[in-house]
Chains A and B, each alone.
Chain A
Amino acid sequence: MQNNVLGVLKEHENKLLTIWSQILQDSGSGDGAMEEEESKEFASLFLSALAKSDEKNEQSQEFEKVEDLIVGISSSRGKRGFSPRENAQYLLSFKEAASQILSELIKDPAQLYEANLKFSAILDNLMIMTFESFMKGREDVIARQVDEISEISTPVIAVWEGIVALPIIGTLDSSRTQTVMENLLQQIVDTGSSIAILDISGVPAVDSLVAQHLIKTVSATRLMGAECIISGIRPEIAQTVVHLGIDLTGITTKASLASALQTAFDMLQLSVVKRRKIVD
């Protein structure tokens, strides 16, 4: 008993659960049935682990199970949209409930202090793990979104037979240029197009690196036997490019996608005519 003072908590498991869920309810970070089940599982496993362990082997196998469980709980809470504060509150309130019970059970202040200290040390370790796994849960979400964004951000559109267009939105960095170029060149092959339109209306600034990437893309397109038109050059972009001293004279550029399309039609010897109204 003396040696394993924390083990007695197991005998008061139900009471602890009641106090714990009460604190969670009061703080407003509870979420009903699913949480109750999680809490029950955690408390039971944690308290059994406490009861079985003694001073020497706190890092026993029992605790590994507890760690796995709490990591699972907190990353699932992260995915369910709990705030970091609520997530921290979860274990902190468990600590609060346990120390309430401990103070009822142990009357000697020195013993109580020691028990509390020991209990805190174990729980703090678990807290750190929750933080890590909570963050990891969130980071997984971010990583998935980054993947999705880069996948949807370079669509190649077949606007006409023999003409593909690729609107670029956002900043062109090296890795993105690579994706853009690969997509574009593949589409040129797949659709048998002879003209590609690169629209940069959605690119906030064209610096020398972006320009260099554009020039490379145009050269690669030409090597494939297709012609490349760059459209969507806004007035301020035009002036900035001139001041920077970037030479785009070898490239066909247009202010809007519409005029680029018109140029493409001209190259393919197509013409768009207004239909004459038939009058009686």
Chain B
Amino acid sequence: MSNGTLTGTDNFRSWFMDKLLMGMSWPEYSRRLITPFNIVAAIILSIGIPVIAIRFVFGLASATHASNEYPWGILLGWGLFGGVPLSATGFVMGTAYYIFGFKRYKPLVRLGVLTGFLGYLFAVIYLLTDLGRPWRIYYPMIIGFGTASVLFLVAWHVATYLTVQFLEFSEAILEWIKSRRVYKWATMIVIGMTIAGIILSTLHQSALGAMFLLVPGKLHPLWFSSYIPVFFLSSSIYAALAMVIVISTLAARFLRSATDHNFLESLDRLTVGLGKGTCVGLFVYLALKLVGVAHDDNWHLLSTPYGNWFLVEILGFVLLPAIVLTYGVKNNSAGLVRFGAFYAVLGIIVNRINVSIIAFNWNLPGHLHHIIPPWQEVAIVASIITIHILIFRWILNRMPVIREHPEYKESH
């Protein structure tokens, strides 16, 4: 009997070391943790986490400068409006691979799904930090139905889509813990989940834009447009393609041990392919933005200060990355394509910050002074980003995402 317990403990220990410590013993694992990156992360968290605690104990006023004129700041401007388009990776890669049959992109599909899943998860975490009473997060599902509200649609879709993405990613988790029976079941629903993902993503990516349809008086006319849902959806698609390039570049650079030969071998070629897609997406989006200006006949506003900033956005952060990508793709240069992809991702963030923060309330006196975030908000955002990266790395190191599990090869 004591023998049985012993083997049980041993089994657990070997499982623990194998799965969680990546085959290392505790002392070995902890020694490996002391890296420059981890030290910087620890410093950021040691500042940011107390600020988050203060926000929850003393209220939003203690850590943000959210005011009656400016109810939303960078927590939502960056975390929700900036984060969600960059998380369209799951839906875009899933659709390309499973529905349209871009089979060559297989090494990047799971990475796309994981980026999407974590992106949504953290968008919700930013939201929970910003909500006045976050413990009521489920209220739109049970307590009251604001069926005429676009935010109601966003809430339902983000919740459902988070579940869908978890199911899509569950393949990797199940391979990791080697559960064959559930795995078989999980691979069966993948097409259904992918199509559900397309529906939910197209709707709520555009819904995030549609949220601003209610504020024609507050959002600068160059950014306010009846096309804003289309702008948000269209830009999220190229954002997703560029984001897959960005994440795969970072993974190949910093987490080489988590990749396999196949991933590294095919990466340059796939990067150029994704770059082609990003490039087309950028030009389509640029055309749409110009149609938007023409539709409202806002050309005369382009010579105003906000108009100049608008031009910086669409020429400097849409047209220029598109040109860089065109060159990269033409010359088959993965390096140039990677640079263009980082640039395009930056452009998406600039656009979402413009819509939700810089061009919003533009006509209030002292507007640009009001939108500078206090250090506490920056600390909260920085520590949530850090946790996001740490969890991402934790999963990539352990689960078969950017490498194939030898026992499950060719099984799907």
A, B co-complexed: no
